[in-house]
Amino acid sequence: GAVVSQHPSWVICKSGTSVKIECRSLDFQATTMFWYRQFPKQSLMLMATSNEGSKATYEQGVEKDKFLINHASLTLSTLTVTSAHPEDSSFYICSAPPTTQETQYFGPGTRLLVL
């Protein structure tokens, strides 16, 4: 199957700082990528849909000014958590569907801990 990577795999930061998470499709191009968040013992919750060359689409209740998404190329989407607070601590996962397939492939996730 197709491979999606994320960087970093984990990050610890101080409250008030910003953190950038990268999502890359390694062997295919993706015009669309998705960002999910998962709290402990809960399911994945879709945060936003990242579209190459245009603005991201955010799910209801997700602050677009806090979670900045940039999809600058067909293989890279970034999620920036601005002014992070302890309640933003979570497992962030991206996914990408190859344009020629019906299946989405997920990255390994990024664990964020805000102190």
Partner 1 sequence: DAKTTQPPSMDCAEGRAANLPCNHSTISGNEYVYWYRQIHSQGPQYIIHGLKNNETNEMASLIITEDRKSSTLILPHATLRDTAVYYCIVRGAQGGSEKLVFGKGTKLTVNP
- Site residues for partner 1 per CB under 8 A: 1, 4, 6, 31-32, 34, 36, 43-46, 49, 91, 93, 95, 97-99, 101-109, 111
What letter represents residue 78's amino acid?
Answer: T
Q: Which is nearer to partner 1, 44 or 68 (CB)?
A: 44
Which two structure tokens, joined as six digits, stand for 46?
Answer: 């879709």
Q: Which is nearer to partner 1, 14 or 103 (CB)?
A: 103
CB 113, min distance to partner 1, A: 13
Q: Which is nearer to partner 1, 17 or 99 (CB)?
A: 99
Which residues, at least 6 apart from 105, have a Cβ–Cβ distance to it below 8 Å?
Answer: 1, 2, 3, 4, 25, 95, 96, 97, 98
List, in sequence order, every beta strand (DSSP E) within the chain: 4-7, 10-13, 19-25, 32-38, 45-51, 57-58, 67-73, 76-81, 90-96, 105-106, 110-114
CB 59, min distance to partner 1, A: 9
CB 83, min distance to partner 1, A: 26
CB 15, min distance to partner 1, A: 24
